[in-house]
Amino acid sequence: MSTNFHRAAHTRPQTHRADDQRLIGVFDENRRGPLIIMIGGIHGNEKAGLKALEYLIKMLEVEHITNEAFQFTGRLIAIRGNIQAQKVNKRYINRDLNRMFRNDLLQTVLTKEERTAEEKELVEIIDFIKNSIADYHPDEIFVLDLHTTTAAGGIFTIINDSPEALEISLDLKAPVIEGFLRGIKGTILHYLNADNVHQNCTALCFEAGQHEDPLSVNRCIAAAVNFLSSVGAVEKLHIEPRHHRILHEYAAGHPIHSRLIYTHKIVEGDQFRMEPGFQNFDPIHENQLLANDINGPIYAPSTGLIVMPHYQEQGEDGFFIVEPLSDKVIG
C-alpha cells in the first residue's frame, strides 16, 4: 500500500464515517473475509493511534485512484477508545479503562444505574464490538489496539498466548513481548477471546513510540497497513516497502522476541518517581536504581531490559522488565 493501497475499479467500496463518536470509519468492498477491528485512544492521552486510523480510512477510500488492481477482503472497523478522556487529553477520568475489561467488573457495572466515565465507555465499547460481530458474522476476527508510551525508544507488540498472534506480530517486523498479559489484568486483549465474543479472535497491541513524537503516527499507520496484509485483507504485493522500513528503522537493534519477567505495580499514595532518562529496551542490571517512592529507593530485581518506564501522573504500572528469548535482534 502506497498511500496507495489499490482497488479494483469495478468494485464500489462501502465506507462510512458516521456522526457516532465511537466510530472512526468502516471499509468494506463486499468480499467476504475477516472482521478487522482497530482501536485508538483507549488511553485518552495517546492520540497517535486515533490520527493514524483516520488517515488509514482516507487512504483506503482513495487507493483505487492509483492502483486499479487493489482488492480488499473482509471488513475493517476503526473505533475510538476512551472518548471522555480523549476530550481532556488524560489517560483516564476515574479509572484506567484498559484495566477494566473483566467479566466480574462488567457484571457489576451492568447492574448500576449511575456509571462513572470509564464504566460508560466499557459498556459502550463492548456493545459496539459485539454488535459489529453480529452484523458481519465473520469466521475470523482480528484486533489491533494502538498505543504509545511516555518514554521514547523502541516500538513493540504485546500479544496474547495464541500462535496466530505471535505469527502476525513477527510479520509486522517489530519486537514481540510475550507474557505481558500475565503482568497486567483487565486489558481489552484479555477480554477479546472466544469465551466472550463466541468467535475465533486474535488480538494484539502495538506500542508505537512516545506520546508526543509526530512520527508515532507514521508508525501506527505502518503497523496498521502491515497488519491488514498479515491477516489476509490486502495482498502483500500492494504494500509499499516504506511501511516495513518505517517500523524496521525504529526497531533496529532490539530483540525480536522477549518475555516479561517482572512488573512493578504502583499503589495509590506511593508517590512513585521514575529515575530520569530511561527509554524502552534500555539494558538494566540487578540492583540498579530505577525509581523512588514513599518507601525509599526501588532497585532492579534482576538484569534485563526495561520497558514502559512510567513518566506520567496517572497509571498503576511503574515499569516492566523483559528478557530476550534469543540473541536475534531486528537487523
pLDDT in tens, 21-35: 999 999 999 999 999
DSSP label of 68: T
Q: Alpha-carbon distance 176 to 155, whole Å?
A: 9
pLDDT digits (tens, 9 = 90+) for 288-331: 999 999 999 999 999 999 999 999 888 889 999 999 999 999 97
Is this structure's pTM higher than 0.85? yes
Q: For 253-268, write each residue's pLDDT tens digit.
A: 999 999 999 999 998 8
What distance in Å separates the CA atoms of residue 197 and residue 142, rounded to the nearest whole number? 12
Q: How many angstroms separate the most distant Cα atoms in the chain?
A: 67
Cβ atoms of residues 200 and 244 within 8 Å: no
What SS3 class is residue 135? Answer: helix
List of domains in the chain: 14-251 (3.40.630.10), 258-324 (2.40.50.100)
185-205 mean pLDDT: 92
